[in-house]
Amino acid sequence: MFYDTRDNSRTLPHDPFKAIMAPRPIGWITSISAKGEINLAPYSYFNGVLSRPNLVMFSSEGYKDSVRNIEETGEFVCNLATWDLRDAMNSTSAPVARGVNEMERAGLAPAASKLVKPPRVAASPAALECKMLQIVPLKDLDGKALDGHVVIGRVIGVYIDDRFIHDGRLDTAAMKPIARCGYDEYAVVEKMFKMTRPTSP
């Protein structure tokens, strides 16, 4: 099949875009408002975008509390969402009023971050402490503003639970990260395979 996204020619009942763009890592974002209120929410339009220095981005469909907080206070933490934390992660996506602490609501203990104010999720095996670099408002082909906001952050601190470091390498599969797919589907990473990059001939 083929369809043009600009007209109504799609015959599938649900947009398969996210099922194609799968699996997506989940940035489970802690932020804090100017008043000091803690917020936690998952974002799967999330990824790393540069290695040196470490940069991440996430995209908010609508101007959500996480973006507002980050605009106010300039900092956030990306917690790794894992198989063990899947239900807690999901519960923090509930549309609750601004100022409600989703971390507390999900029964998750906070742990103080080292370099930024928003706490990390104590039970998460890895967390990236970030300073906001840019919030990019998204525009459509005709230049009209879309209600999408991409937050780009510089990772300044990296927390890793030492139990997942083996022979100096992070054992990703042992952490069982979960990833978002389409519809109500998720993937869990439990097995890795290796490939060495080709060298120039």
Consecutive H or E run containing 19: helix 17-20
What gap in Å lies between CA 193 and CA 25, rounded to an integer?
18
State the nearest-atom distance from the C-beta of 159 to ligand FMN, in Å: 21
Rounded to whole angstroms, the Cα distance separating 76 from 128 reads 8
- Sole binder of ligand FMN in the list 25, 30, 32, 43 (CB under 6 A): 43
Q: What angle do CA 59, 153, 122 make, to 5 degrees?
A: 90
Of 54 and 93, CB closest to ligand FMN:
93
By CB under 6 A, is residue 41 in contact with ligand FMN?
A: yes
Q: Does the protein bind ligand FMN through residue 42 (CB under 6 A)?
A: yes
Q: Yes or no: say if 164 and 126 are a contact pair by the CB < 8 Å rule.
A: yes
Contact between 104 and ligand FMN by CB under 6 A: the answer reads no
Q: Is 73 in the site for ligand FMN (CB under 6 A)?
A: no
Contact positions vs ligand FMN (CB under 6 A): 26, 39, 41-45, 59-61, 64-66, 90, 93, 95, 180
